[in-house]
Structure 1
Amino acid sequence: MKRVFLIVLDSVGIGALPDAGLYGDEGSNTLRSAAGSPYFSMPNMRRLGLFNIDGMEWAEGVNAPAGAFGRLAESSRGKDTTTGHWEIAGLVSGRAMPLFPEGFPKELLEELSGRAGRGILCNRPYSGTEVIRDYGEEHIRTGNLIVYTSADSVLQIAAHEDVIPVEELYRICEAARELCKGPYGVGRVIARPFEGEYPFRRTARRHDYSLVPPEDTMLDVLKRSGLETRGVGKIGDIFAGKGISSSVRTSCNAEGIDRTLEHMNAEFDGLCFTNLVDYDMLYGHRNDVDGYAKALTYFDERLPELLNALRSEDILMVTADHGCDPGTPSTDHSREYVPLVMAGELLKPGSNIGTRASFADIAASILDYFGQENPGAGESFLNQILSIQ
Structure 2
Amino acid sequence: MKRVFLFVLDSVGIGEMPDAADYGDEGSNTLLAASKSPYFSMPNMRKLGYFNIDGVEIGEKEAHPAASFARMMELSKGKDTTTGHWEIAGIISKSPMPTYPDGFPEEIIAEFEKETGRKVICNKPYSGTDVIRDYGEEHMKTGALIVYTSADSVFQVAAHEEVVPVETLYHYCEIARKILHGKHGVGRVIARPFVGTPGNFTRTSRRHDFSLVPPQTTMLDQLKDAGYDVLAVGKINDIFAGKGITDFIRTDGNADGIEKTIKWMDRDFNGLCFINLVDYDMLYGHRNDVDGYAKALTYFDEQLPRILEKMQDEDILMITADHGCDPSTPSTDHSREYVPLILYGKQIKAGINYGTRKGFGDIGATVLSYFGIPSKIEGTSILDNTDTVL
TM-score (norm 2): 0.98
**How far, CA to CA, are the matches of 1:57 and 1:152 in structure 2?**
29
Q: Hey, what does 1:190 align to over in structure 2? A: 190
Displacement of 1:383: 4.2
Q: Deviations over 1:163-190 (max 9, x none)?
A: 1010110000000000010111000000
Q: Hey, what does 1:351 align to over in structure 2? A: 352
**How far, CA to CA, are the matches of 1:365 and 1:104 in structure 2?**
39
SS in 2 for 1:200: strand
SS in 1 for 2:291: helix
Q: Deviations over 1:117-172 (max 9, x none)?
A: 10010000000000000000000010000000000000000000011010110000
Q: Hey, what does 1:342 align to over in structure 2? A: 343
Amino acid at match of 1:282: L
Displacement of 1:387: 5.1
**How far, CA to CA, are the matches of 1:15 and 1:195 in structure 2?**
37
Q: Hey, what does 1:226 align to over in structure 2? A: 227
SS in 2 for 1:265: coil
Q: Hey, what does 2:237 align to over in structure 1? A: 236
Displacement of 1:334: 0.2
Q: Tell me: CA distance 1:312–1:39, structure 2 relative to 1, closer, same or farther (3 Å).
A: same
**How far, CA to CA, are the matches of 1:36 and 1:219 in structure 2?**
37
Amino acid at match of 2:358: A
Displacement of 1:213: 0.1
SS in 2 for 1:368: helix
Displacement of 1:58: 4.1
Q: Hey, what does 1:276 align to over in structure 2? A: 277
Q: Hey, what does 1:21 align to over in structure 2? A: 21
**How far, CA to CA, are the matches of 1:58 and 1:387 in structure 2?**
27
RMSD: 1.0
Q: Hey, what does 1:326 align to over in structure 2? A: 327
The answer (yes or no) to whether the contact 2:68–2:354 under 8 Å persists in 1 is yes
Q: Hey, what does 2:53 align to over in structure 1? A: 53
Amino acid at match of 2:97: M
Q: Hey, what does 2:246 align to over in structure 1? A: 245
**How far, CA to CA, are the matches of 1:342 and 1:384 in structure 2?**
15
The answer (yes or no) to whether the contact 2:233–2:250 under 8 Å persists in 1 is yes
**How far, CA to CA, are the matches of 1:166 and 1:359 in structure 2?**
35
Q: Deviations over 1:97-118 (max 9, x none)?
A: 0000000000000000011110
SS in 2 for 1:124: strand
SS in 2 for 1:56: coil
Q: Deviations over 1:1-27 (max 9, x none)?
A: 111000000000000000000000001
**How far, CA to CA, are the matches of 1:262 and 1:153 in structure 2?**
33
**How far, CA to CA, are the matches of 2:385 and 2:9 in structure 1?**
23
**How far, CA to CA, are the matches of 2:314 and 2:72 in structure 1?**
24
**How far, CA to CA, are the matches of 2:387 and 2:158 in structure 1?**
47
SS in 1 for 2:281: helix
Displacement of 1:352: 1.0
**How far, CA to CA, are the matches of 2:94 and 2:23 in structure 1?**
16
Q: Hey, what does 2:200 align to over in structure 1? A: 199
Amino acid at match of 1:182: G
Q: Hey, what does 1:366 align to over in structure 2? A: 367
- Which stretch shifts more, 283-292 or 54-63? 54-63
Q: Hey, what does 2:155 align to over in structure 1? A: 155
**How far, CA to CA, are the matches of 1:211 and 1:186 in structure 2?**
7
Q: Hey, what does 1:130 align to over in structure 2? A: 130
The answer (yes or no) to whether the contact 2:261–2:275 under 8 Å persists in 1 is yes
**How far, CA to CA, are the matches of 1:139 and 1:263 in structure 2?**
40
**How far, CA to CA, are the matches of 2:340 and 2:266 in structure 1?**
26
Amino acid at match of 1:332: D
Displacement of 1:376: 1.2
**How far, CA to CA, are the matches of 2:375 and 2:94 in structure 1?**
19
Amino acid at match of 1:382: L
The answer (yes or no) to whether the contact 2:98–2:153 under 8 Å persists in 1 is yes
The answer (yes or no) to whether the contact 1:347–1:386 under 8 Å persists in 2 is no
The answer (yes or no) to whether the contact 1:7–1:317 under 8 Å persists in 2 is yes
The answer (yes or no) to whether the contact 1:39–1:293 under 8 Å persists in 2 is yes
Q: Counterparts in 2 of 1:81-92, with a 5 A limit? A: 81-92=81-92
Q: Tell me: CA distance 1:330–1:385, structure 2 relative to 1, closer, same or farther (3 Å).
A: farther
The answer (yes or no) to whether the contact 2:223–2:229 under 8 Å persists in 1 is yes
Tell me, which stretches of 5 or more residues in structure 1 are unaligned? none
Q: Hey, what does 2:290 align to over in structure 1? A: 289
Amino acid at match of 2:274: F
- Which stretch shifts more, 338-347 or 356-365? 338-347
Residue 64 of structure 2 is aligned to residue 43 of structure 1: no
The answer (yes or no) to whether the contact 1:348–1:385 under 8 Å persists in 2 is no
**How far, CA to CA, are the matches of 1:73 and 1:329 in structure 2?**
24
Q: Tell me: CA distance 1:118–1:385, structure 2 relative to 1, closer, same or farther (3 Å).
A: farther
How much identity, in percent, do the aligned residues show? 64
Q: Deviations over 1:75-118 (max 9, x none)?
A: 00000000000000011110100000000000000000011110
The answer (yes or no) to whether the contact 2:146–2:159 under 8 Å persists in 1 is yes
Q: Hey, what does 1:213 align to over in structure 2? A: 214
Tell me, which stretches of 5 or more residues in structure 2 are unaligned? none
**How far, CA to CA, are the matches of 2:58 and 2:305 in structure 1?**
25
**How far, CA to CA, are the matches of 1:221 and 1:132 in structure 2?**
41
Amino acid at match of 2:376: P
Displacement of 1:341: 1.1
The answer (yes or no) to whether the contact 2:287–2:327 under 8 Å persists in 1 is yes
